[in-house]
């Protein structure tokens, strides 16, 4: 609130506009709030990206909503970076693109101006030092209808990472369903893009696949069936396909009374070559109809000096294995 009186604060949030005490106070203090009504524009969907940029120097991309529960009651994971103007400027372009789509009267296909065009993508990644380690970096985006020229598609980024893995793919995501979920009463549509990619990687190339999904008060009964469909091929043709459910314990009546909490909410993937931190759950409706973004890093681990900090990819691998081997998981 105090910063809104001193600096330019712009927020792009899900529309349509409704009464919200926090946003109302920010608007009164001088913040500019744009409401992105994805469902109105695409017939279904939501603004689901969780992004920050500050002064074109610092930024955040991850699973955490701007909600007190994300700090105290929900298990989150994100990437925070500081003093990196190229990366912050690129992330600002994505936030700006979402803000542009939120403008009244937007028409499809969008006539994008050059200020939103992405310079960096999978074929032309940003070359940085992350914690002292050389890395190729780019930021992907969804849905396709909101994506400016040059910006990597979020789903295509994930599929390329899976296809490029040589020894393992570890996925941690709250919800993973081989479906485009319908919220209008119509049947869901089958959507095997991600599950097929993981099965193919393990079945054809011997890549070890581990999937860590969440089990909480709002888990769909369909989730277990979709995971069983993947797990069924474990051991066939040497495939290694394992699934575990992560349960955040509810230890007090007060915790139980908090709505939409006590869940492992992260959305990331790490392979032997690449890390991906995203904002979308793994079902087709998110990649087709929801505002989202992904942070992709491929580290040059052959050139890590003794003075360098640990490679970011290795850090994420260790986080996954910590959770996978914890007392909070149950194997399917």
Model pLDDT, residue 266: 98
Rounded CA-CA distance 210/232 in Å is 14
> Residue 280 domain-assigned?
yes
Residues (pLDDT < 50) of the chain are none
Model pLDDT, residue 231: 99
> Residue 238 domain-assigned?
yes
> Residue 230 domain-assigned?
yes
> Residue 323 domain-assigned?
yes
**Whether residue 193 lies in the annotated active site:** no
> Residue 47 domain-assigned?
no
> Residue 103 domain-assigned?
no
H or E element at residue 172: strand 168-173
> Residue 231 domain-assigned?
yes
Q: Which of 48, 93, 215, 267 is catalytic?
A: 48
Rounded CA-CA distance 74/155 in Å is 25
Token pair 């200020």 is found at 115
Q: Which of 20, 24, 55, 163 is catalytic?
A: 55
**Whether residue 265 lies in the annotated active site:** yes
Q: What's the CATH number where 286 sits?
A: 3.30.870.10
Rounded CA-CA distance 146/36 in Å is 11
Q: Which of 100, 181, 215, 265 is catalytic?
A: 265
Distance of CA 235 to the CA centre of its chain: 30
Model pLDDT, residue 207: 99
Number of domains comprising the chain: 1
Question: By residue range, what is the domain housing residue 235?
Answer: 113-331
């Amino acid at each position: 609130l105090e910063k809104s009186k001193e600096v330019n604060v712009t927020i792009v949030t899900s529309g349509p506009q409704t009464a919200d005490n926090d946003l109302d106070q920010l608007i009164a203090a001088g913040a500019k709030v744009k409401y992105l009504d994805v469902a109105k524009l695409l017939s279904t969907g939501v603004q689901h990206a969780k992004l920050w940029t500050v002064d074109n120097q610092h930024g955040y991309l991850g699973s955490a909503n701007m909600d007190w529960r994300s700090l105290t009651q929900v298990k989150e994971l994100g990437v925070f970076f500081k003093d990196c103007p190229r990366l912050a400027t690129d992330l600002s372009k994505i936030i700006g693109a979402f803000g542009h789509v939120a403008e009244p009267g937007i028409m499809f296909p969008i006539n994008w101006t050059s200020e939103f065009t992405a310079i960096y993508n999978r074929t032309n990644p940003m070359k940085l030092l992350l914690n002292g380690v050389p890395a190729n970096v780019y930021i992907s985006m969804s849905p396709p209808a909101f994506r400016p020229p040059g910006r990597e598609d979020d789903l295509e980024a994930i599929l390329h990472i899976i296809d490029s893995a040589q020894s393992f793919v570890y996925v941690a995501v709250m919800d993973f369903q081989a479906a485009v979920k319908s919220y209008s009463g119509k049947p869901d549509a089958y959507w095997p893009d991600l599950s097929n990619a993981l099965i193919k990687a393990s079945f054809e190339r011997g890549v070890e696949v581990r999937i860590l999904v969440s089990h909480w008060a709002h888990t769909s009964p369909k989730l277990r069936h979709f995971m069983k469909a993947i797990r069924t091929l474990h051991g066939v043709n040497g495939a290694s396909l394992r699934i575990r459910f992560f349960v955040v314990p509810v230890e007090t009546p007060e915790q139980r009374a908090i709505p939409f909490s006590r869940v492992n909410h992260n959305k990331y993937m790490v392979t032997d070559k690449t890390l991906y931190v995203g904002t979308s759950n793994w079902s087709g409706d998110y990649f087709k109809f929801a505002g989202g973004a992904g942070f992709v890093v491929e580290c040059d681990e052959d050139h890590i000096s003794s003075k360098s900090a640990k490679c970011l990819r290795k850090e994420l691998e260790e986080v996954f294995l910590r959770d996978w081997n914890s007392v909070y998981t149950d194997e399917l």
